[in-house]
Amino acid sequence: MGKRERWRDGGATLYVDRGAAHGDRGAAPGMPAGHPERLEAAAEVPLEVPVEVPLEGPLEVPLEVAASYRARTRGLLGRDGIEGAMLLTPASSVHTFRMRFAIDVAHLDRRLTVIALTTMVPGRLGLPRLRARHVLEAEAGAMAAWGLRVGSPLRVRLTAR
């Protein structure tokens, strides 16, 4: 998305960097980058633990953009699932009342960097995040499969009309 482009309802492609998050390269799982104990924690990891090697290039995920009030209000209500993900913009929180399935929720800042991740079951009200400008929703477990985590940068390419 360029600075001059406006968000609009419709299809798009989400690009997820399958490598480590910015500033988190080489850090042990669960340890913040630059943490003084990260090397000690990494040394304690048993050798039998499988290591995931990031694949080359970003992962492409089909994306639905909900930018209008009507599309954001409808969201994933009345569906039994979603292929890919849905981006609500602008948004800082979501709810799962009247939803039929659990979802993963990623709060994104204005640069499309993940600032918070959570999984929500149906019938819950999510807390708003102060810096969040967009919310990304997908079926529960999808974001973990994509390798998404706090600090992950995302890119969106809108489908031409």
Q: 51-102, pLDDT tens digit by residue? A: 454 557 899 999 999 999 999 999 999 899 999 999 999 999 999 999 999 9
Per-residue pLDDT for 47 more than 90? Answer: no
Strand order in the sheet with 103-108: 114-120, 103-108, 134-139, 85-88, 59-66, 10-16, 154-158
Residue 2, pLDDT > 60, answer no
74: left (phi over 0), alpha (psi -120 to 50) or beta: alpha
Q: Locate 146 and state its tokens.
A: 């994509």
Residue in the block written with tokens 């669960």: 30
pTM recorded for the entire structure: 0.75
